[in-house]
Amino acid sequence: MLYYSTRKKAPAASLSEAVTKGLAPDGGLYMPEQMGLLPEDFFKRMYSMDFQDIAFEVAMYFLGNDLPAGELKRMVYDTLDFPVPLVHIHDRLCTLELFHGPTMAFKDVGARFMARLLGYFTRCDHQELNVLVATSGDTGSAVANGFFQIPGIRVFVLYPRGLVSTVQEKQFTTLGGNITAISVEGTFDDCQTIVKQAFADEELNRHMKLTSANSINWARLLPQSFYYFWGVAQLGRDTGDIVCAVPSGNFGNICAGLIAKRLGLPVAHFIAATNINDIVPQYLKNGNFNPRPSVATIANAMDVGNPSNFARIIDLYHGSHENISRDISGFVSTDEQIRLTIKDVYTNHGYLLDPHGATGYRALKSCMDNHPSTSGFFIETAHPAKFTEIVESSINQEIALPPNLARFSNKISQIVEMPASFEAFKEFLI
């Protein structure tokens, strides 16, 4: 299958070009040229299939002509070797827990799949690939763990010194091997600027093959569509209309859900749950898309002022605000509402939310209260223990660190320290 750029000013790209480039040369995002309905019988069989088999069928639709089926099957099965359970909270309101992977956030799915796909293409063309990633926390740990020990690929994680939580820092500084952690004396924006300069530097690009692992990459987005099918399959038949709420920042996760819907998945409506960085909820309300600098919140993985995957959503609906707002609505939560929700759901239903999941719960609950015949699930994007201080202070109780997070804490960090300077980074790489 070929991929076009959302800005329509770049030539069509093959899968391998689209995923090694990440961004199209015209600055647009790659989209697959075909997105029709999956066969009707798949939607009948789906309810008795397991997650990996469902994922493989969806993956075949997009990638079946680009990779040998056996290779693709191994990629999908390896990526999804952890459970993604649908957990019932109350009434017909459920959550799809996407935090059982190695770094306990949903980004594990995209990062692990992308690592395997890039590993395959790198094996085919025998040239070492260098992945650069700037992170404020979650992305760095998911990418580092996803790419750890993938042959032919080296990863450089740039993060702002002292501005990443201890748990998160341990997750990408203790791996060693093909993962190099670089602590930059500056902010997240400085890290991102250095990475962008690296991609633009001709000398550096002559020297080594560089690519990025951020969420605009099709290889990270595509596998996220798999779990929406699995969520619906676990919910079962005869559910009434299904509503799905997605805690959103760069809008990659919800975009993958909308792609699943386009393939025929019976979800009636999506809700984009955000913190007070409500650029997209505002757009859904009044049709005006006004990016602005992000504001810090306690759901910080969603502190985004210019959501990068929004261009894909616009493209999916040919720019029609009317059609977009038929399928998606927005729902905004303040820090205080997030804390109250964590406390309330824990006290009344015995379920512990993380701050991001809490925005999803609130959005879904409000919609289901207004539409009593619906069923629904929200995506729980991270394990609550990744945000210990916020969760503990919300419920006035200590929580345990799960083994997946604790296993990093005794390991020794290996960190390269660097000033916020592209020249220093370039010298280090060469």
Ligand X SMILES: *Cc1c(COP(=O)(O)O)cnc(C)c1O
Interaction between residue 250 and ligand X (CB under 6 A): yes
* Residue 180 or 294 with smaller CB distance to ligand X: 294
CB 256 within 8 A of CB 215: no
Interaction between residue 274 and ligand X (CB under 6 A): no
Query: Buried (b) or exposed (e) across 91-118, using 16+ Cβ within 10 A?
Result: ebbbbbbbbbbbbbbbbbbbbbbbbbbb
Cβ neighbours around 90 below 10 Å, total = 12
* Residue 186 or 384 with smaller CB distance to ligand X: 384
Tokens representing 217 are 């990459």
Among 119, 186, 252, 281, binds ligand X (CB under 6 A): 252
* Residue 129 or 143 with smaller CB distance to ligand X: 143
CA 309 to chain centre: 11
Interaction between residue 382 and ligand X (CB under 6 A): yes
Among 22, 249, 257, 281, binds ligand X (CB under 6 A): 249
Shortest distance (Å) from residue 269 CB to ligand X? 17
* Residue 28 or 307 with smaller CB distance to ligand X: 307
Nearest to 64 by CA among 72, 75, 74: 72
Number of residues interacting with ligand X: please give it, by CB under 6 A: 16
Q: Indicate which residues carry an active-site annotation.
A: 107
List the interface residues with ligand X, window 168-227 (CB under 6 A): 215
Shortest distance (Å) from residue 390 CB to ligand X? 12
Angle between helices 355-370 and 335-349 (to 10 degrees): 80
Among 80, 381, 394, 425, binds ligand X (CB under 6 A): 381
Shortest distance (Å) from residue 224 CB to ligand X? 8
The strand ranges marked E within 317-413 are 328-332, 375-380
* Residue 46 or 144 with smaller CB distance to ligand X: 144
**291 burial level (CB within 10 Å; 0-12, 13-18, 19+):** middle
Shortest distance (Å) from residue 398 CB to ligand X? 21
Tokens representing 143 are 């990418």
Tokens representing 152 are 């032919």
Shortest distance (Å) from residue 99 CB to ligand X? 8
Q: Are strands 93-97 and 242-247 parallel, antiparallel or unpaired?
A: unpaired
Shortest distance (Å) from residue 379 CB to ligand X? 8
Among 21, 269, 356, 365, binds ligand X (CB under 6 A): 356
Tokens representing 382 are 């991270």
**193 burial level (CB within 10 Å; 0-12, 13-18, 19+):** middle
* Residue 107 or 112 with smaller CB distance to ligand X: 107
Among 61, 120, 228, 251, binds ligand X (CB under 6 A): 251
CB 250 within 8 A of CB 306: no
**226 burial level (CB within 10 Å; 0-12, 13-18, 19+):** buried
Contact characters 299-338, ligand X, x per CB under 6 A:
--xx------------------------------------
List the interface residues with ligand X, window 110-139 (CB under 6 A): 138
Applying CB under 6 A, the span of 48-56, 229-237, 247-255, 338-346 interacting with ligand X comes to 247-255
* Residue 185 or 278 with smaller CB distance to ligand X: 278
Among 21, 107, 312, 362, binds ligand X (CB under 6 A): 107
Tokens representing 126 are 């025998």
Residues that bind ligand X (CB under 6 A): 105, 107, 138, 215, 247-253, 301-302, 356, 381-382
